[in-house]
Amino acid sequence: MDYKTIKVNISDNIAILTLSRPEALNALNSLVFSELSDFITYLETQSEVRVLIVTGEGKSFVAGADIAEMSNKTQEEALQFSLKGQEVFKRFGLLKIPVIAAVNGFALGGGCELAMSCDFRIASNKAKFGQPEVNLGLIPGYAGTQRLSRLVGMGNTLYLLMTADVITADEALRIGLVQQVVEPDELMVVVMEIANKVASKGKSAVKNIKEVTRNGYEMQFDAASELEANIFSYCFGKEESKEGMQAFLEKRKPNW
């Protein structure tokens, strides 16, 4: 895999995807989206990978979309640029493995939207979050209005979108945008610990949790509950669950 804007490392069932345009604070452009899409397609074939970590190189996670590229787009070109970003970010949610955002620095605009497309977020206490598009006379284009409202509620979302305020990691934790805040030099250590913890669980169970929770969130409660019951019962036909329950009864670690 020879990429120009991202770096990839896969080791011990954990994949690390690093956005790598440090000279542009890892800003998102058409090439970034193409390379992200290509990598996700590759990752879908790698059955040994149990968890994906997404982070940024340098002092930024992703500082936003590349304004230099965006500024000359026509309305139709802007539509396609938005739809492309939405498609790529949606694919992180559709991956069968957990995707963890390790937010090391600025996560603004498209960077915040990328972080929100991951399953959950761990942040350095130096990280900053925001959707400053209104400062440019724009709105978020990569489903940021939708993901942010689902994560932090309508009031918090409208406040952040309309004021373009940039918030600290601690404030992001308070409103539920991130799940944990750590010291900068501990970020990848903590995220790797979490990734390895998740990877040690039943592989199918983790996959099913992601599928049921993400799909169910968009459904009516009763339909989502029925989906949960169906997948719960489906697990009982798998060797993984039989081994997990037997290991519990025998007071030993399961042999996945």
The superfamily CATH assigns to domain 6-199 is 2-enoyl-CoA Hydratase; Chain A, domain 1 (3.90.226.10)
Task: Answer whether CATH 1.10.12 is correct for domain 203-249.
Answer: yes
Q: What is the residue extent of each domain of the chain?
A: 6-199, 203-249
At residue 129, φ and ψ (nearest 5 deg) are -125, 145
Query: Which one is catalytic: 44, 76, 113, 239?
Result: 113
Query: Which one is catalytic: 57, 77, 87, 133?
Result: 133
Q: From start to end of the chain, where are the E strands?
A: 6-11, 14-19, 51-56, 60-62, 99-103, 106-108, 120-124, 128-130, 167-168, 180-182
- The answer to whether residue 57 is catalytic is no
Instruction: Evaluate if residue 256 carries a pLDDT over 90.
Output: no
Stated as kind and residue range, the H or E segment containing 222 is helix 221-235
Q: What length is written for the chain?
A: 256
Are domains 6-199 and 203-249 of this chain identical in fold? Answer: no
- The answer to whether residue 228 is catalytic is no
Give the whole-angstrom CA distance, residue 20 versus residue 26: 6
* pLDDT of amino acid 23: 93
Q: Are the CB atoms for 4 and 32 separated by under 8 Å?
A: no
- Alpha helices in 59-105, H assignment, sequence order: 67-70, 75-94
Q: Compute the average pLDDT of residues 101-123.
A: 98
Q: How does the average pLDDT of the chain come out, rounded?
A: 97
* pLDDT of amino acid 103: 98
Q: Which band of pLDDT confidence, cut at 50, 70 and 90, is reported for residue 12?
A: very high
Three-class secondary structure of residue 95 per DSSP: coil
Q: Which band of pLDDT confidence, cut at 50, 70 and 90, is reported for residue 189?
A: very high
Give the whole-angstrom CA distance, residue 73 versus residue 87: 19
Give the whole-angstrom CA distance, residue 171 versus residue 162: 17
Give, in order, the Cα–Cα distances in Å from 9 to each of 78, 102, 182. 32, 15, 23
For 55-64, write each residue's pLDDT tens digit: 999 999 999 9
